[in-house]
Structure 1
Amino acid sequence: MDLLEFSRDRKMMSVLCSRNQLNVLFSKGAPESIIARCTTILCNDDGSIVPLTADIRAELTSRFHSFAGKETLRCLALALKWMPSGQQMLSFDDERDLTFIGLVGMLDPPRAEVRNAMLSCMTAGIRVIVVTGDNKSTAESLCRKIGAFDHFIEFSERSYTASEFEELPPLQQTLALQRMALFTRVEPSHKRMLVEALQNQNEVVAMTGDGVNDAPALKKADIGIAMGSGTAVAKSASDMVLADDNFASIVAAVAEGRAIYNNTKQFIRYMISSNIGEVVCIFVAAVLGIPDTLAPVQLLWVNLVTDGLPATAIGFNKQDSDVMKAKPRKVNEAVVSGWLFFRYLVIGAYVGLATVAGFIWWFVYADSGPKLPYVELMNFDTCPTRETTYPCSIFDDRHPSTVSMTVLVVVEMFNALNNLSENQSLLVVPPWSNMWLVGSIIITMLLHILILYVHPLSVLFSVTPLSWDDWMVVFYLSIPVIIIDEVLKFFSRNPIGLRLRLWFRRSDLLPKRELRDK
C-alpha cells in the first residue's frame, strides 16, 4: 500500500501491506538499525511476542557479530509492526516500536583472484583501501578471509567506520588516512571526502563506484573506475569502465598501462641516445680537428630510415616480468629522472665516440687506408699548402665516412636491443621476445647493405662498399654498447646502485606531471 525507500542515514526500508483488513508494516535493513528500533521480539516456540530485554538484545547483537565476523555473512534484520486498519500512508515515525522477527545471512564470497590481485598492487607500491557500505565486522572478516591484509600487525588501527572517522580530531584523521585499509558504512559523500583527503596528501587516487551518487567521487578522483553493471551516470563520470566488474581487471589494466609507459620511455631513450651520439660525433670531430665524419645526406638516412623502424618496433615490447614490482613514481617526479638521463648520456657518448673512432681507424690503422700519422689527420685542412708524402685527395675518399656511417647504424641496432627492457638484462629478455624489433633490425641492415653495394645508391649517399675487415672493425666498435648498458642496468636493478640513483634524482630533466583538477 505504501513504501518508505531505503536511505543511507536510516539504513533500512519499510513497506505497508494489507490483507484481510489487517495492516502490517514490514521492515528490513542493517541489523544495528533494526534492532535499535525494536521493543519486542517474536518467539519461535509459540509465536508469542515478548519484550526485547537488554539480555535478549545483547544476545541478538552477539549472534549478528558472529554471523558477520566468523562466518563472513552479509546480514539483514527483519521486523514487523501491526498498524491501524485504516492507515494508508507511512511516515518515518512509524518505524519505531517494531517487533523483531529474525536475521538473514547471505554468503557473498570473494572472487578467487582477488587475493593475488591485491597482493600485486601492494608489491607494486599501490595502496589498496577497501571502501564499502557493509557492516564493519563483515568487511573485516572478509578481508581476513582474503588474506590480503595479513601483513598488518594490528588491523584494528587500520579499519574505521565512516562515523568513527568523522568523530576523530583533524590531526588524528590525517594519521588515520595514512594507515587506513578498510572504510566501512560509507555513504557516497564519504567517498568524495576520502578522495579529496588523499589528494591533499599528494596521493594519486583511483576510485571505483557504480551508482548515481558515486558520480561526484568518480569525477573527483584522478582515475574514476565505473562498474560495467553500474548506472550510465557513473560511467559517464568515469575514466574507465570495467566490463566484468572484477578488481583483477583493474590490476591487469595497471600492468598494461605500466608496460605502455615503459615502452614510451624506451622509445624516448632510443631516440635521445641516438641524437646525442650524432651531436657527440660532430662535436668530437670539431674538437679533434679532423674532417666531418658524416655527410648531411648520411645523417638524414640514419635519422629517417635506420632509426625510424627500430624506434617504432620498440613500442611492441612485451610486458616486463617485474612490471608490477617497481614502485610508482611520485606525482611531481619527471618522466626521465637524472639517473636515467645520465644513462642516455653515457650510451649517446659512446655512440658518438665509436662513430668517430671508425673514421680515425680507416685513416690511421686500416690496411686499405693511407695509414697516416694522427697529426697529419688533424692538419688535413693545410694539406694543399704544404708538402706531403700522400695525395690530398685521400681526404675526399668515401671509405672513412662509410665506415663511420656503418658504425653508427650497427651500434644503433645493438642499442635497439638494449631497449627491450629498461632494467632487465638481454639474458632475461632476449631479442626474440619482440620479433617486430628483430624484423626491423634485419630490414634496416638490408637497406643499409643495399645502399653500400648498389652503385647508383652508393653514389647518392656518398658511400662505398666495405671489405670483410672493415665489417669486423665495425662490429668490434659497435658491440660494446651492449656491455656498457648491461652494466648500467645492473646498477639500476641492484641496491648497490641505489645511492647513485638517488644522487642523480636531484635534477629532473623532463617536465613534471601535475595533478589535473577534475
Structure 2
Amino acid sequence: MAYAYKPASDDKKELTLTDENDLILIGLSAMIDPPREAVYDSIAEAKKAGIKTIMITGDHKTTAQAIAKDIGLMNEGDMALTGQELDALTEDELRDNLQKISVYARVSPENKIRIVRAWQNEHQVTAMTGDGVNDAPALKQANIGIAMGSGTDVAKDASSMILTDDNFVSIVSAVSIGRVVYDNIKKSISYLFSGNLGAIIAIVFALIVGWVNPFTALQLLFINLVNDSVPAIAIGMEKAEPDVMEKAPRQLNEGIFANGLMRIILIRGSLIGIAAIISQYVGQKTSPEMGVAMAFTTLILARTLQTFAARSNSQNIFKLGFTTNKYVLMAVTFCLALYSLTTLPFLREIFSIPASFGWSEWAVAAGLAVIAVICMEILKSIKGIFEK
C-alpha cells in the first residue's frame, strides 16, 4: 500500500480527481500472511517420505514462487507455470516437465483436473486439497480429495476426507499414522501366518516320516485360542518405527506380501516348525505321547515368544526395547498363563500331556522355542547389516 500527500490551500473545501495528481510519496507498506512455522518441517518430512508437494494457487505467479521457495517446496531447477502457460503445453510437453513443475498460478478448474490426471497417468497416487466450488472437480478426480473444514459444502461433498483444522501439517501427520497402521497390519499378518506355517510343517513332516500326529485337535484349537488373538492385537498397537517416514510410498498394485514379507513368513514359520519337529523327536524317545506333549509345548511357546520378533521386520528386540510396547508384554504374559493351565494335574489328560512330563522335558521344549526366536532375531540383524 502506498502513502502520499499533496499540499492544499486552506480555502479548499472539496477534492476532485485532479487533486490526485502530482502527489508526494511518503512510503510503502506491505502485508503478508506468513506460512505456519510447522509447515517448513512438514514439507521437509513429506520430501523424505517420497511425497512431492505441489502448489496450485490463484495468486500471482511471482508471489507463489516466493512462498514456495521460502517453505522449501520449490528447489533449484523447478518450474512455475500460470494457467495460460499450462494451456499452451501439449500433453507430451506436460509429461516431460511434470516432475519439475512445483507451482501452478492463476489456474482454472480445468487446469486443476489436468494436473491431477497428468500425475495419475504416471501411475502416481494423488491427493488434492481445496475449499471452493471450483476445486470440486479436481477433488473428485484425485485419488484422495481433501476438503478444508472451512470450505464450501460442494468441496466437502466431492472429497474423501475433511481437514477440520485447515492445516497442511495434519495431512503429513495422517500419512505417518496411515503408514504405521499399514505396517502393523503386515506385522500381525506375518505373526499369524508364521505360527500357523510352523504347525503345518510339523504335521506334514510327521505324516511323511510315519510319526504320530504331533498335535491333537484340542491342542490346535487351544493354540489358536491363545496365539491367534491377543498377541496379534498387541502387535497392532506397536509404535512407529524411526524410518517410517523415510520409505518411498508403496505402489498402487503392491500386494500385502510385498517387500519381503513372504520371505519373513517362510523363515519364521520354518524355524518354528523345525523346533517343533526336534522337540517331538526328543520326546518320542520316551513315548509317542511325550513327543506330542513336547511338540505342543514348543509350538505354543515359540508362537508366543515370536510376538517379540514380529514387532519389527527390520529392528531386533534390543533396539526396540522389551518394555516399549506394554501391550505385547501383557499379551505374552496372558499366553504363558493360559499355557501353564494345561500343565496342571487335573487338566493334563485333557490336553494329552502325560504325568511323566516334567521340568527336564519342559526345559528342552522351551529351550527349542527360545532358540527358534533367537535365530529369527539373528537373521533379522544379518539382513540389516547387508542392507546398509
Q: TM-score, normalised by structure 2?
A: 0.89
Q: Sort the Cα spacing of 1:251 and 1:478 in 2 relative to 1 into closer, same or farther, 3 A.
A: same
Q: Residue 409 of structure 1 aligns with which residue?
A: 300
Q: Sort the Cα spacing of 1:122 and 1:338 in 2 relative to 1 into closer, same or farther, 3 A.
A: closer
Q: Residue 480 of structure 1 aligns with which residue?
A: 371
Comparing 413-422 and 436-445, the one that deviates more: 413-422
Residue 256 of structure 2 corresponds to residue 335 of structure 1: yes
Residue 13 of structure 2 corresponds to residue 122 of structure 1: no
Q: Sort the Cα spacing of 1:362 and 1:145 in 2 relative to 1 into closer, same or farther, 3 A.
A: same
- 1:264-300 deviations in Å (ceiling 9; x for gaps): 1111111111111111011111222222111111111
Distance in 2 (alpha carbons) for counterparts of 1:254 and 1:464: 53
Q: Residue 208 of structure 2 aligns with which residue?
A: 287
Number of aligned residue pairs: 372
Given that 2:87 and 2:111 are in contact with CA atoms closer than 8 Å, whether structure 1 keeps it comes out as no
Q: Sort the Cα spacing of 1:103 and 1:239 in 2 relative to 1 into closer, same or farther, 3 A.
A: farther
User: Secondary structure in 2 aligned to 1:131?
Assistant: strand
Given that 2:40 and 2:71 are in contact with CA atoms closer than 8 Å, whether structure 1 keeps it comes out as yes
Offset, 1:362:
1.9
- 1:48-98 deviations in Å (ceiling 9; x for gaps): xxxxxxxxxxxxxxxxxxxxxxxxxxxxxxxxxxxxxxxxxxxxxxxxxxx
* Pairing partner for 1:263 from 179, 184, 191: 184
Given that 2:50 and 2:249 are in contact with CA atoms closer than 8 Å, whether structure 1 keeps it comes out as yes
Q: Residue 241 of structure 2 aligns with which residue?
A: 320
Q: Residue 461 of structure 1 aligns with which residue?
A: 351
Residue 76 of structure 2 corresponds to residue 153 of structure 1: yes
Offset, 1:454:
4.3
Offset, 1:305:
2.2
Comparing 476-485 and 351-360, the one that deviates more: 476-485
* Pairing partner for 1:432 from 302, 320, 323: 323
- 1:362-407 deviations in Å (ceiling 9; x for gaps): 233xxxx3xxxxxxxxxxxxxxxxxxxxxxxx43x3x221111110
Q: Residue 311 of structure 2 aligns with which residue?
A: 420
Offset, 1:422:
2.7
User: Secondary structure in 2 aligned to 1:305?
Assistant: helix
Distance in 2 (alpha carbons) for counterparts of 1:419 and 1:219: 39
Q: Residue 516 of structure 1 aligns with which residue?
A: none
Given that 1:275 and 1:348 are in contact with CA atoms closer than 8 Å, whether structure 2 keeps it comes out as yes
Distance in 1 (alpha carbons) for counterparts of 2:350 and 2:373: 32
> What CA RMSD, in Å, does the superposition of the two structures yield over aligned residues?
2.5
Distance in 1 (alpha carbons) for counterparts of 2:251 and 2:384: 19
Given that 1:310 and 1:416 are in contact with CA atoms closer than 8 Å, whether structure 2 keeps it comes out as yes
Offset, 1:119:
0.9
User: Secondary structure in 2 aligned to 1:460?
Assistant: coil
- 1:172-230 deviations in Å (ceiling 9; x for gaps): 21112122222222222221111111111111000000012211111111111111111
Given that 1:414 and 1:481 are in contact with CA atoms closer than 8 Å, whether structure 2 keeps it comes out as no
Residue 184 of structure 2 corresponds to residue 184 of structure 1: no
Distance in 1 (alpha carbons) for counterparts of 2:30 and 2:295: 77
Larger Rg, first or second structure (1 or 2): 1
AA at the equivalent of 1:144: K
Q: Residue 174 of structure 1 aligns with which residue?
A: 95
User: Secondary structure in 1 aligned to 2:348?
Assistant: helix
Q: Sort the Cα spacing of 1:479 and 1:46 in 2 relative to 1 into closer, same or farther, 3 A.
A: closer
AA at the equivalent of 1:461: F
User: Secondary structure in 2 aligned to 1:452?
Assistant: coil
* Pairing partner for 1:400 from 287, 291, 302: 291
- 1:491-516 deviations in Å (ceiling 9; x for gaps): 6545x349xxxxxxxxxxxxxxxxxx
Given that 2:57 and 2:107 are in contact with CA atoms closer than 8 Å, whether structure 1 keeps it comes out as yes
Given that 1:135 and 1:185 are in contact with CA atoms closer than 8 Å, whether structure 2 keeps it comes out as yes
- 1:231-258 deviations in Å (ceiling 9; x for gaps): 1221122111112111110000010011
Q: Sort the Cα spacing of 1:159 and 1:458 in 2 relative to 1 into closer, same or farther, 3 A.
A: same
Q: Residue 110 of structure 1 aligns with which residue?
A: 35
Distance in 2 (alpha carbons) for counterparts of 1:132 and 1:104: 24
Between Structure 1 and Structure 2, the one with more helix by share is 2
Distance in 1 (alpha carbons) for counterparts of 2:297 and 2:16: 94
Q: Sort the Cα spacing of 1:170 and 1:453 in 2 relative to 1 into closer, same or farther, 3 A.
A: same
Q: Residue 348 of structure 1 aligns with which residue?
A: 269
Distance in 1 (alpha carbons) for counterparts of 2:113 and 2:240: 34
Given that 2:214 and 2:291 are in contact with CA atoms closer than 8 Å, whether structure 1 keeps it comes out as yes
Given that 1:262 and 1:422 are in contact with CA atoms closer than 8 Å, whether structure 2 keeps it comes out as no
Identical aligned residues as a percent: 35
Q: TM-score, normalised by structure 1?
A: 0.67
Distance in 2 (alpha carbons) for counterparts of 1:492 and 1:134: 50
Given that 1:343 and 1:488 are in contact with CA atoms closer than 8 Å, whether structure 2 keeps it comes out as no
User: Secondary structure in 1 aligned to 2:274?
Assistant: helix
Q: Residue 7 of structure 2 aligns with which residue?
A: none
Matches within 5 A, 1:9-158: 43=21, 45=23, 105-149=30-74, 152-155=75-78, 158=79
Q: Sort the Cα spacing of 1:132 and 1:356 in 2 relative to 1 into closer, same or farther, 3 A.
A: same
Given that 1:452 and 1:464 are in contact with CA atoms closer than 8 Å, whether structure 2 keeps it comes out as no
Distance in 2 (alpha carbons) for counterparts of 1:191 and 1:454: 73
Distance in 2 (alpha carbons) for counterparts of 1:231 and 1:482: 55
User: Secondary structure in 1 aligned to 2:200?
Assistant: helix
Q: Sort the Cα spacing of 1:332 and 1:450 in 2 relative to 1 into closer, same or farther, 3 A.
A: same
Offset, 1:142:
1.2
AA at the equivalent of 1:204: V
Distance in 2 (alpha carbons) for counterparts of 1:110 and 1:488: 47
Given that 1:271 and 1:311 are in contact with CA atoms closer than 8 Å, whether structure 2 keeps it comes out as yes
Distance in 2 (alpha carbons) for counterparts of 1:244 and 1:314: 31
AA at the equivalent of 1:325: E
Q: Sort the Cα spacing of 1:148 and 1:481 in 2 relative to 1 into closer, same or farther, 3 A.
A: farther
Residue 377 of structure 2 corresponds to residue 452 of structure 1: no
Distance in 2 (alpha carbons) for counterparts of 1:164 and 1:211: 23
Distance in 2 (alpha carbons) for counterparts of 1:123 and 1:44: 55
Residue 132 of structure 2 corresponds to residue 211 of structure 1: yes
Given that 1:420 and 1:431 are in contact with CA atoms closer than 8 Å, whether structure 2 keeps it comes out as no
Offset, 1:439:
0.5
User: Secondary structure in 2 aligned to 1:207?
Assistant: strand
